[in-house]
Structure 1
Amino acid sequence: MLLVNKTDLFRHHMPDTLADRIALGIVRAGTSMAGALFGGRYGHRVVVLETVAAVPPMVAATLLHLKCLRLMLDDRGWIRTFMDEAENQRVHLMSFIALAQPRAWERILIAIAQAAFYNAFFILYLISARTAHRLAGYFAEQAVRGYSEYLIRLGSDDRSSDAAPASAIAYWNLPPDSDVTDMILAMREDEAIHRDLHHAFADALAAGQAFPRGNA
Structure 2
Amino acid sequence: MKRDNGWIETLLEEAHNERMHLLTFLKLAKPGWFMRLMVIGAQGVFFNGFFLAYLISPRICHRFVGYLEEEAVITYTRAIQDLEHGKLPKWQTLQSPDIAIKYWKMPEGRRSMRDLLLYVRADEAKHREVNHTFGNLVPEEDPNPFAGRYSDTSKLQPSKGLMNLKPIGWERKDVL
Does the pair score TM above 0.5?
yes
Aligned to 1:83: 12
Q: Which residue of 1 aligns with 2:93?
A: 161
In 1, the alpha carbon distance for the partners of 2:125 and 2:24 equals 18
Q: Deviations over 1:134-168 (max 9, x none)?
A: 11111111110111121123231251332211221
**Structure with greater helix share of residues:** 1
From 51, 76, 82, the counterpart of 1:147 = 76
Offset from partner CA, 1:87-139 (integer Å, 9 cap, x none):
11111111112211123432232122111100000000000111111111111
Which one of 190, 194, 203 corresponds to residue 123 of structure 2? 190
Aligned residues: 143
Please show how residues 170-209 of structure 1 align to structure 2 within 5 Å: 170-177=102-109, 178-205=111-138
Alpha-carbon distance between aligned partners in 2 of 1:189 and 1:209, rounded to the nearest angstrom? 29
In structure 2, the partner of 1:136 is 65
Identity %: 36
Structure 2: stretches of 5+ with no match in the other structure: 147-158, 160-176
Query: Does the 8 Å CA contact 2:5/2:143 hold for their aligned counterparts?
Result: no
Read off the aligned partner of 2:77 and give its amino acid letter.
S
Deviates more, 1:151-160 or 1:94-103: 151-160
Match of 1:98 in 2: 27
Does the aligned pair in 1 maintain the 2:4–2:140 contact within 8 Å?
no
Conserved? CA contact 1:137–1:195, under 8 Å: yes
Shift of 1:170: 1.7
Judged with a 3 Å threshold, the aligned counterparts in structure 2 of structure 1 residues 202 and 165 are, in CA distance, closer, same or farther, namely same
Could you say if the C-alpha distance between residues 176 and 166 of structure 1 is closer, same or farther in structure 2, counting changes exceeding 3 Å? farther
CA distance in 2, matches of 1:144, 1:82: 19
Aligned position for 2:142: 211
